[in-house]
Chains A and B, each alone.
Chain A
Amino acid sequence: MRFNFNNLNFKPGSGMQRNVMAAVRGNQMLMALFIALLLFVIGGFVSTNFLSLTNIGSILSMAVLLGFVAAGQTLVVISGGEGVDLSVGAATSLGAVLAVEIMHGQNNAIIPALILIIAAGALIGILNAIGIIVARVPPLVMTMAMANVVTTVQLIYTNGTPTGHPAGLVALIGSGRLLPVLPWLVVIGILAMVLMQALLRHTTYGYQLYAVGSNSNASYLAGVRVSLIRGGAYVLSGMLSAMAGFWLIAYNNFAFVNMGVAYTLPSVAAVVIGGTSLAGGGGSYSGTMIGAIVLTVLGSLLVVLHTDEAGRQIINGVVLIALLAAYTRRPPIRQ
């Protein structure tokens, strides 16, 4: 498959000059959305079943799960300072394991399970934040080490095989659908997008998070409590990732140790495809969701094409590189 990315670039001086700045900022997200639609269309050509409402609904459900894991990742990447959270997958796994172990199929255990999951996620985030901000361990190293610790904790806690399953109500939401194309998970995903958007754009925390990511020295000297803002991003990331584990078992109806680990690197990819700069200071959660859809549609498409595992990995990698290369082609800004 070949895409002509150039068609999507806003060329300076093309009569859209006034909108260029605004367009460029929305550009990557629009581009990702366009690619997602394109992948759906290609899928439709390959298999008529691909565009059935049920299949679209399933793809969106899976995308939302990735989007949940990537929620905290978005915050951490925006916060800058080479911020990245490689413990999101492990936190998701822990959330999943705790969820089944505590609920054991009982509806009245849902609330205690949620509280404990969020607390566990917060603890992971707090430890990450202390390591990164107080002990000044680079985020990449700190969160990777934390991922190992959290994985080991799960093994000890479950002896390797978690027992239990989600409460009936949770499983119903996890796999049920409001409409064929609209699973309950997607409804919750949309709700999460609204909440994240509110946090990022309409609270002073979100505002300061972008500021810190853009220039932490300047923010510090303007009175922003940089450590708390940045540390907060890691704590929120731990909590959101652990919650993602809850929805992961709601969807799958079972848990295994490390079930979230496969989401770690895709979460970073979703954030970047969605237009959040790895340098920090810019981006949005809606972009991340679209990035998650792109990755999930691509994955499904490769399955439909009967590509074997090796082929899938290679194509996945090539597409990612192509996307990122296309993203860097934007008009330069005055230095």
Chain B
Amino acid sequence: MLQMLDIGKRFGAVTALKNASLSLMPGEIRALLGANGSGKSTLVKILGGMVKLDSGNILLDGKPLLIQSPRDSRQNAIAVAYQDLSLVPQLSVADNIMLGREPRGRAGLVESARVRQGALELLNRLQVEVDPDALVSELDTATQSLVEVAKALAWEPRMLVLDEVTASLHHDQVQRLFALLRGMRQSGLAILFVSHRFDEVFSLCDTATVLRGGETMSAVSISQVDYSDLIHAMTGKWPEKIRAAQLESKLPKKRDIVLSLSNLHVQNKVKRVSLKVHSGEIVGLGGLQGQGQAETLRAIFGAVSFSEGDMVFGGAPVKFRSPGDAVRQGIGFISGDREREGVLPVRSVTENLFLAKMALKGFFSTINSHWLFTGAKETIRQLKIVAEGPDSPANSLSGGNQQKLVVGRWLMVKPRLLLLDDPTKGVDINARREIHQLLRQMAEHGTTIIISSSDNEELLDIADRILVFYEGKVVAELCNDQKTEAQLVSAMLGVNRTSGGGDD
């Protein structure tokens, strides 16, 4: 039905796509896989009409198709749910879903009752419990993603493109979405599914197209491949080797307590959380999205205030009024939302890397540019950051490399405690592993690390100890042989309370 042949696209000096090809049949669910920077998002944006292709052809039912704008895309029954949501935050859920296709009355005026009705039907099909009159800006990210999907479905497409929409969804929400998608493919809907989560790809998709460096590396049937085949196609390396390189056994030693929280309370989000973290330890915060992990980290860092509770850092009771105070005491923070809270998009790689260091220097210290340049080059080499040079703007880098800039920023100041809020969200496997290795190295050199993650594999892989959050409380603490996926998942769902960390 749809074919994309030898698509090429450049952004300035950066080649995003060359020779990317893709085909989609009615009723087919195809996964689009690739590391960050492999061109997945660009390919999706070409389909959606957000980006114009430089070379190559798109065929629809054998006829050439020219997509110049989102309107062209929709007229050809292609609908895209974007990863970086295309919702208008100030409009209501219903208005967003029906945006551009509002039912009109005789005078050509929008009939808001029918808008609401249409939106409600879609939301019910997706089984999302949300008030259609609520403003999108008031919703959590998971619900926003589902509204984005509903918005795409509102166009009654023949082809549906889902660009990492499951990234922030809970397990059960994903299952409900998948059930709906499976039903819709029966009626001939073709789906292109972009995801970093392999388990989802294997449970939902029939076929997969793998991109690497903007080129289509393979197009396969899911039933004939396994994880390692796909990882090989994405990265060019066999996964066993990468795994072997990073397996360094580390014996947990009893060390000083760096941070202790008792009965931390953040309004509506965190309820009486207590924890102790030792020097050089990597503590994972697990749980479903939005169970208070993010707020706990931000409360420690002074980015949100806590109403009750005590915090002791490095032996002294503290309460930071702003992140600036926390940074001066030797605490660092990495957000997974790199666009909003990570990189300085138009500034250079160097400036991004030195940001925390500059913040520590006050206002009127002088800067030696040569020193900055050599320092940046060294870090670029050390973190294997792919950039044209230290002067390239951060937004010319791929997502994974942008996130490495943020990690590098803290590597330069060597904080005593590093807090990470879902740091590898939407980061490809290779960059993720490199970031993990860096964190381990930092831990070995005495930095204490607290990391929250929506990815269970990541937590099990990196954390010495996992605290599981549920509805704002720590409901389980998993270490040693309890640190298994099964234990983690059951604790996340609030099923099985092993040891109460927060209720006593």
| Interface set of A (CB-CB < 8 Å, partner B) | 12-13, 17-18, 20-22, 24-25, 201-205, 207-208, 210-211, 214-215, 217-225, 228-229, 232, 277, 281-282, 331-335
Query: Do B358 and A204 touch (CB < 8 A)?
Result: yes
Complexed CA–CA distance, A131 and B142 (Å): 36
Give A317 Cβ to nearest chain B Cβ, in Å: 28
Interface-forming stretch among B22-30, B103-111, B361-369, B422-430? B361-369
B298 and chain A: residue at smallest CB distance = A221
Counting contact residues on chain B (CB < 8 A from A), the size range is 35 or more
Query: Do A207 and B12 touch (CB < 8 A)?
Result: no
CB proximity to A under 8 Å, residues B387-412: 388, 391-393, 395-396, 398, 409
A-B contact pairs, 8 of them (CB 8 A): A12-B10, A13-B10, A21-B13, A24-B12, A202-B367, A218-B342, A228-B363, A332-B12
Complexed CA–CA distance, A18 and B388 (Å): 8
**Contacts across chains A and B counted by CB atoms under 8 Å:** 137
Contacts of B361 in A (CB 8 A): 204
Query: Do A331 and B393 touch (CB < 8 A)?
Result: no
Whether A203 contacts B344 in the complex (CB less than 8 A), given A20-B12, A208-B359, comes out as no
| Beyond known contacts A21-B393, A21-B396: 10 more, CB 8 A cutoff | A24-B12, A204-B364, A210-B351, A219-B359, A220-B303, A220-B323, A223-B324, A225-B322, A281-B347, A333-B12
Contacts of B16 in A (CB 8 A): 334
Q: Which of B12, B345, B359, B362 contacts A222 (CB 8 A)?
A: B359
Complexed CA–CA distance, A201 and B347 (Å): 13
B368 and chain A: residue at smallest CB distance = A202
Query: Do A281 and B344 touch (CB < 8 A)?
Result: yes
Whether A221 contacts B333 in the complex (CB less than 8 A), given A12-B12, A203-B364, comes out as yes
Contacts of A229 in B (CB 8 A): 363
Whether A215 contacts B335 in the complex (CB less than 8 A), given A204-B365, A222-B356, comes out as no
Asked if B197 is at the interface (CB within 8 A of a chain A CB), the reply is no
Q: Which of B335, B345, B364, B366 contacts A221 (CB 8 A)?
A: B335
Asked if B59 is at the interface (CB within 8 A of a chain A CB), the reply is no
CB proximity to A under 8 Å, residues B300-340: 301, 303, 322-324, 326-328, 333, 335, 340
Query: Do B345 and A214 touch (CB < 8 A)?
Result: yes
Give A54 Cβ to nearest chain B Cβ, in Å: 39
Asked if B179 is at the interface (CB within 8 A of a chain A CB), the reply is no
Contacts of B342 in A (CB 8 A): 215, 218
Complexed CA–CA distance, A238 and B280 (Å): 48
A16 and chain B: residue at smallest CB distance = B13
Query: Do A223 and B359 touch (CB < 8 A)?
Result: yes
Q: Which of B327, B351, B366, B396 contacts A203 (CB 8 A)?
A: B366
Contacts of B362 in A (CB 8 A): 204
Q: Which of A218, A232, A333 contacts B363 (CB 8 A)?
A: A232
A10 and chain B: residue at smallest CB distance = B12
Give A28 Cβ to nearest chain B Cβ, in Å: 13
Query: Do B393 and A333 touch (CB < 8 A)?
Result: yes
Complexed CA–CA distance, A20 and B13 (Å): 7
Contacts of B335 in A (CB 8 A): 218, 221
A330 and chain B: residue at smallest CB distance = B12
Asked if B88 is at the interface (CB within 8 A of a chain A CB), the reply is no
Contacts of B346 in A (CB 8 A): 214, 277, 281-282
Whether A205 contacts B395 in the complex (CB less than 8 A), given A211-B344, A222-B327, A225-B322, comes out as no
Contacts of B301 in A (CB 8 A): 221
Complexed CA–CA distance, A229 and B328 (Å): 17
Query: Do B363 and A223 touch (CB < 8 A)?
Result: no
CB proximity to A under 8 Å, residues B19-75: 42
B328 and chain A: residue at smallest CB distance = A223
Contacts of B388 in A (CB 8 A): 18, 21
